[in-house]
Amino acid sequence: MSKPITEIINSYYPSLTNSEQKVATFVLNNLDQVIYYSVTDLADEAGVGETTVLRFCRKIGLKGYQEFKLTLAQNLSEGKKEQNGSESNNLIQSVQLNSVEAIENTAKMISEEDLNAAIELLSNAKFIHLFGVGTSGISAMDAQSRFLRIGVQSSAIIDSHLQAMTAATLSQGDVVIALSISGSTRDTIETVKIAKEKGAKVIAITYYSRSPITQFADVVLTGGTKESPLEGGSLAAKISQLFVIDLLCTGIALTHKERSLEMKNKTAQAVVSKIY
């Protein structure tokens, strides 16, 4: 059984400060929406600072914002179990629609100006570093493969310690692509902060345009689909990341057409003997 979050909030409510009560009131009135909010989103909606939101989470007995969202999602999930009985008949169509919707939403959310700015940074980069953990780390590795196909050298690092050490060695001319659907992944944010301090440019790929990671980004590419803590690593969210990566790779390839075509031929020839 998950913790009854509404009862917990109500029981602590009288002991909260006025600012914390603003957060509590907003959460109680918007349970279905809050599970998709970043800490910055909730702070803005409640009219308080991010530290107040974090303090509210600890006041009600939780370790932090992510545990708060997980507990909230578990409560909502338990309340909706009986609604899923008829959905299995449309499983294929449901998954298809979610994937298509993720790409359509991403296409609508990405600014062409921001996309062009990101492509320019990557085209002129001394070296490209891809940082991500969990599912975003898998997307980072896929991106490294895509860049290599068009002759662009890059490195996908998914270990948080190696990310931090790599970031400490960066300088002007280096470009970091940081992938985080939530924009609140602690390891990725700490790494990006180090990279920024060393003079590297940062491109953030995230669903939340106002999330902690955007504070350190030179370019933010927003897109994808929202996911609750129980849906972490969903296919739709990953597809949205890969769509953004595809946009960046295609943009670079169009910028350097002849070289990209030459590299595509060379890399294809390199692995042709691997296929029967």
How many domains is the chain partitioned into structurally?
A: 2
pLDDT at site 1: 43
67/31 Cα distance (integer angstroms)? 15
131/136 Cα distance (integer angstroms)? 8
pLDDT at site 223: 72
Query: What is the number of alpha carbons within 13 Å of residue 11 lying toward its C-beta?
Result: 9
Does 239 lie in the same domain as 176? Answer: yes
User: Could you tell me if residue 71 is inside a domain?
Assistant: yes
Does 137 lie in the same domain as 180? Answer: yes
Does 114 lie in the same domain as 16? Answer: no
Token pair recorded at residue 121: 């940074």
Does 260 lie in the same domain as 170? Answer: yes
Q: Which of 42, 58, 82 is the last residue of a domain?
A: 82
Does 122 lie in the same domain as 257? Answer: yes
CATH classification at residue 240: 3.40.50.10490
pTM, entire model: 0.74
Does 269 lie in the same domain as 211? Answer: yes
User: Could you tell me if residue 87 is inside a domain?
Assistant: no
Residues 6+ apart with CB under 8 A from 62: 68, 71
Does 143 lie in the same domain as 97? Answer: yes
Strand partners, 220: 204
50 residue type, one letter: E
pLDDT at site 229: 58
pLDDT at site 231: 57
In b/e form, how buried is each residue of 188-224, taking b as 16+ CB within 10 angstroms? bbebbbbbbeeebbbbbbbbbbbbbbbebbbbbbbbb
pLDDT at site 122: 97
Does 161 lie in the same domain as 70? Answer: no
Q: Which of 82, 100, 126 is the last residue of a domain?
A: 82
Q: How many CB atoms lie within 10 A of CB 22?
A: 19
Does 206 lie in the same domain as 105? Answer: yes
CB 89 within 8 A of CB 22: no
CATH classification at residue 38: 1.10.10.10
Does 181 lie in the same domain as 158? Answer: yes
Ordered per-residue pLDDT tens for the chain, 276 residues:
456 788 788 878 888 999 999 999 999 999 889 988 989 999 999 999 999 999 999 999 899 998 998 888 888 766 555 445 445 557 788 788 878 888 888 888 888 999 999 999 999 999 999 999 988 999 999 999 999 999 999 999 999 999 999 999 999 999 999 999 888 889 999 999 999 999 999 999 998 777 889 999 999 998 766 665 555 557 888 899 999 999 999 999 999 999 999 999 999 999 888 877
pLDDT at site 228: 57
pLDDT at site 156: 97
Does 173 lie in the same domain as 227? Answer: yes
Domain, as residue range, for 237: 92-274
Does 220 lie in the same domain as 158? Answer: yes
User: Could you tell me if residue 267 is inside a domain?
Assistant: yes
Q: Which of 48, 82, 116 is the last residue of a domain?
A: 82
